[in-house]
């Protein structure tokens, strides 16, 4: 008996729709990772939205060529694939604006992209660790370190407002950032070390 | 790395860097991998803090002075942002959905996403509240589903399990009996088909269904809304039946007041009946509604039947040749020993150490489980041999995740090929195997403020969050499959796969071992210091099986199906 099954015939539109659904689901689930990757290649937040948008559209245009290497880690493969596109889009975005904005040298972007690609898996762990570390601060410290990031606030503005306390405030925030950074590093490596 | 470079990174992040310093920083980044890593982590941290701040702080809320008064920073705080936005990884994606929405619009297919949303109550119900003393977790909801019998929830509406906290909104089921405790103290026994809307701790709307309400004095004032009337309970027990055609009320004991509708102001006392809708039929009483005692006894016999089915199953399972060890704790009565029921025999028995309590198992009074709530509680075993794959399966009731890591099954020394199976404090399952204990991992230890060495190359396979405080006291079937032949690690909750990850080449181990090990804790009696990590599980385990094989998804599902207690 012929054991081979005849695949059900699908219309091109149907296939396109399925492919589209797959793409949207992957992108929606992982656009945060891709966006973060882009942010890390740029010296400031400026341009992240633009590059992300261009990356997303380029990903969709090329999605037909996306073939996961490892069927058990499609998500990981998708993120890595999209990050390659994102790196390229970041470089070309920077090139267009190099004259009037703060941008990294191309060699730096390349190196950051390389290091960042190796650490993609780690980002999620770091995110969780950040939550935990933040909880370890006293509520005053937590408030201070977060107030810097509250909408409409910035270190410069807070420093301006607080006048003579500016320097002290700045160094306090920087101290807390250092504490958080060490804590995150510790938690992540401990997880690798103590599972 | 020196503080100066670190300072440059922060100047860049804060947008306060001079062109010369920016060049200096780029030189350092170009030359030094460590600087690049520091930069990446610092920006990542900064962006994450930004997201947290945006979620947590709301410029429209209260404005306070910064404590200590050493600055004039205005701090605004939004008190009721759910902490799941902070604690679950899913939240990191929330603000970014706009992008997906844009793409969706481009190609058209919004319905796809809405189609993906399911009606299951998710882990949205727990949050943390910051108080003077620190962070206090909060759970949202108005009632709990205390017991149930053969409940069949209506498709497309929230479905709950015994022990679940019920959220405001629809409670709709096609069949079965639910015993619902409202937080005000009133108890409802509802028979399906039923359609209720839970409004608050004090109020429930009945659209369809038969129920009996018991309202103790403390819950006086509890209101049921039906057919345009409010039934205000004055400390009683009453029965209500609401159908499409008619609706009626009967006071079993005490007094009830009707408000609104045609019967406004009417008082009913013991034995009195009132038709709220439809034509009264002579002397017909509300058909044999279940009482608490009925539910209890029907449940007990159904639970006994479940236990009997499981016992029959475990007699078959224990003969599975792939079993390394099998501890069907639910059925064991010997004081300090947990017998290994597998063919491998008494050598692999577990021994109770410290204050392990025998307590109610998942089949309630009919069975036993082992509780590890005290730090010294543990079950020790020693399983020698070499294995080609692992499947761990257990039934566990988690009361709280008190420690950073909470043990299920742990190899003592964590040497090559040995497993660690545990639950992290954020409700994620963790499974790992030691790959190479001779390799050192170096990391910065914040406590000692220096770089320390840590033994061993291994990888922790983490799942999504599967537990939060609202799930406290519920039984879960957990399974972890380590499958070197197919190079993958799978983890399951209640028979459903929740995670699958490939085993990368550098984390591949073909020969697996267990050796001395513990259930419910990690004691490391071979350690060289008196200190030990506190990882006892604040919860109860009542069945644990270890296979020298990678069980198939359908086999895991069957372990769950055959072993599940009533109410699943």
Question: What pLDDT digit, counting tens, does each position of A18-61 carry?
Answer: 777 888 888 888 888 899 999 999 988 888 888 998 898 888 88
As a whole number of angstroms, the distance between CA B49 and CA B53 comes to 6
Predicted pLDDT at B497: 94
Cis-peptide into B552, omega within 30 deg: no
Instruction: Indicate the SS3 state at residue B33.
Output: helix
Predicted pLDDT at B133: 45
Burial B239-277 (b: 16+ CB within 10 A, else e): bbbbeeeebbbbbbebbbbbeeeebeeeebeeeebbebb
Predicted pLDDT at A153: 58
Q: Topology of A12-118 in CATH?
A: Rna Polymerase Sigma Factor; Chain: A (1.10.1740)
pLDDT (mean) for B388-405: 92
Interface test with A, best of B71, B460, B487 (most A CBs within 10 A): B71
The hierarchical CATH code for the domain B298-563 is 2.60.120.200
User: What secondary structure, in 3-state letters, does B276-313 show?
Assistant: EECCCCCCCCCCCCCCHHHHHHHHHHHHHHHHHHHHHH
Q: Contact B70/A165, CB-based, under 8 Å? A: yes
Question: What pLDDT digit, counting tens, does each position of B7-32 carry?
Answer: 889 888 877 788 888 999 999 998 88
Q: Contact B109/A17, CB-based, under 8 Å? A: yes
Predicted pLDDT at B78: 37
Predicted pLDDT at B545: 96
Domain ranges in chain A are 12-118, 121-195
Q: Contact B405/A112, CB-based, under 8 Å? A: no
- Under a CB-based contact definition with an 8 Å cutoff, are residues A149 and B49 in contact? yes
Q: Topology of B143-290 in CATH?
A: Jelly Rolls (2.60.120)
Highest mean pLDDT among A173-177, B70-74, B100-104: A173-177
**Residue B272 to chain A, least CA–CA distance (Å):** 58
A35 interface with B at CB cutoff 8 Å:
yes
Residue B98 pLDDT exceeds 60: no
**Residue A22 to chain B, least CA–CA distance (Å):** 10
Least confident of A165-174, B446-455, B553-562: B446-455
Residues forming beta bridges with residue B432, ordered by sequence position: B420, B460
Predicted pLDDT at B267: 87
- Under a CB-based contact definition with an 8 Å cutoff, are residues B537 and B406 in contact? yes
- Comparing A56 with B354, the larger pLDDT belongs to A56
Tokens read off for B246: 């008619």
Q: Contact A195/B68, CB-based, under 8 Å? A: no
Least confident of B101-115, B127-141, B429-443: B101-115
- Give the A:B interface size as CB pairs under 8 Å: 224
Nearest to B72 among A107, A161, A185 (CB): A161
Counting as low any pLDDT under 50, the low residues of chain A are: 1-7, 164, 193
């Amino acid at each position: 008996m012929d054991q081979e099954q005849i695949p059900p015939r699908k219309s091109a539109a149907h296939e396109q729709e399925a492919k589209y659904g797959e793409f949207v689901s992957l992108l929606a689930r992982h656009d945060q990772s891709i966006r973060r990757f882009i942010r890390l290649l740029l010296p400031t937040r400026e341009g992240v939205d633009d590059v992300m948008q261009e990356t997303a559209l380029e990903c969709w245009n090329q999605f037909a060529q996306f073939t996961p290497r490892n069927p058990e880690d499609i998500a990981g493969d998708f993120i890595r694939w999209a990050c390659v596109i994102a790196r390229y889009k970041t470089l070309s975005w920077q090139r267009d604006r190099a004259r009037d904005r703060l941008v990294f040298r191309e060699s730096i972007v390349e190196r950051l992209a390389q290091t960042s690609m190796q650490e993609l898996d780690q980002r999620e762990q770091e995110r969780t660790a950040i939550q935990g570390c933040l909880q370890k601060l006293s509520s005053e410290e937590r408030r201070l370190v977060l107030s810097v990031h509250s909408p409409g606030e910035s270190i410069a503005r807070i420093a301006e407002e607080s006048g003579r306390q500016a320097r002290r405030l700045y160094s306090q925030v920087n101290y807390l950032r250092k504490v958080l950074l060490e804590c995150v590093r510790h938690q992540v490596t401990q997880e690798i070390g103590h599972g | 790395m020196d503080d100066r470079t670190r300072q440059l990174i922060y100047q860049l992040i804060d947008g306060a860097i001079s062109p010369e310093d920016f060049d200096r920083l780029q030189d350092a980044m170009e030359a030094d991998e460590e600087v690049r890593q520091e930069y990446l982590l610092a920006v990542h941290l900064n962006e994450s803090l930004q997201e947290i701040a945006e979620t947590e702080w709301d410029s429209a809320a209260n404005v306070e002075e910064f404590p200590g008064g050493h600055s004039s920073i205005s701090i605004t705080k939004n008190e009721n942002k759910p902490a799941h936005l902070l604690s679950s990884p899913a939240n990191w994606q929330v603000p970014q959905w706009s992008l997906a929405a844009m793409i969706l619009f481009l190609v058209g297919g919004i319905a796809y996403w809405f189609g993906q949303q399911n009606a299951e109550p998710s882990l949205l119900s727990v949050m943390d509240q910051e108080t003077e003393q620190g962070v206090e977790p909060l759970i949202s909801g108005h009632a709990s589903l205390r017991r149930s019998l053969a409940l069949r929830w209506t498709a497309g509406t929230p479905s709950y399990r015994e022990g679940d906290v019920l959220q405001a909104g629809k409670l709709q089921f096609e069949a079965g009996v639910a015993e619902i405790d409202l937080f005000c103290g009133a108890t409802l026994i509802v028979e399906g088909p039923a359609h209720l809307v839970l409004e608050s701790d004090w109020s429930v709307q009945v659209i369809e269904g038969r129920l009996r309400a018991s309202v103790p004095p403390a819950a006086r004032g509890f209101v049921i809304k039906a057919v345009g009337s409010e039934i205000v309970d004055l400390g009683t027990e009453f029965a209500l039946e609401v159908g499409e055609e008619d609706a009626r009320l009967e006071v079993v004991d005490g007094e009830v007041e009707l408000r609104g509708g045609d019967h406004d102001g009417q008082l009913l006392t013991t034995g009195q009946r009132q038709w709220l809708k439809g034509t009264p039929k002579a002397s017909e009483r509300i058909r044999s509604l279940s009482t608490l005692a009925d539910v209890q006894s029907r449940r007990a016999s159904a639970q006994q039947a479940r236990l009997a089915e499981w016992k029959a199953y475990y007699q078959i399972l224990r003969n599975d040749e792939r079993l390394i060890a099998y501890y069907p704790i639910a059925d064991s009565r010997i004081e300090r020993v947990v017998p290994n029921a597998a063919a491998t025999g008494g050598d692999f028995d577990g021994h109770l150490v410290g204050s392990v309590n025998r307590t109610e198992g998942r089949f309630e009074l009919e069975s036993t489980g082992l509780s590890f709530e005290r730090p010294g509680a543990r079950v020790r075993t020693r399983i020698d041999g070499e294995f080609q794959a692992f499947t761990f399966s257990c039934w566990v009731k988690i009361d709280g995740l008190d420690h950073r890591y909470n043990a299920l099954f742990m190899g003592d020394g964590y040497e090559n090929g040995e497993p660690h199976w545990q639950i992290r404090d954020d409700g994620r399952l963790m499974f790992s195997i030691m790959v190479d204990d001779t390799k050192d991992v170096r990391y910065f230890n914040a406590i000692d403020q220096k770089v320390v060495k840590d033994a061993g190359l291994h990888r922790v396979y983490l799942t999504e969050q599967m537990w939060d405080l609202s799930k406290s006291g519920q039984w879960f079937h957990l399974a972890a499959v380590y499958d070197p032949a197919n190079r993958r690690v799978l983890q399951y909750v209640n028979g459903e796969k929740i995670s699958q990850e490939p085993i990368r080449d550098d984390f591949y181990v073909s020969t697996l071992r267990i050796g001395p090990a513990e259930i419910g804790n990690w004691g490391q009696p071979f350690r060289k210091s008196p200190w030990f990590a506190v990882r006892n599980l604040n919860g109860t385990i009542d069945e644990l099986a270890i296979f020298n094989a990678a069980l198939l998804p359908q086999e895991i599902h069957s372990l769950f199906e055959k072993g599940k207690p009533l109410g699943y």
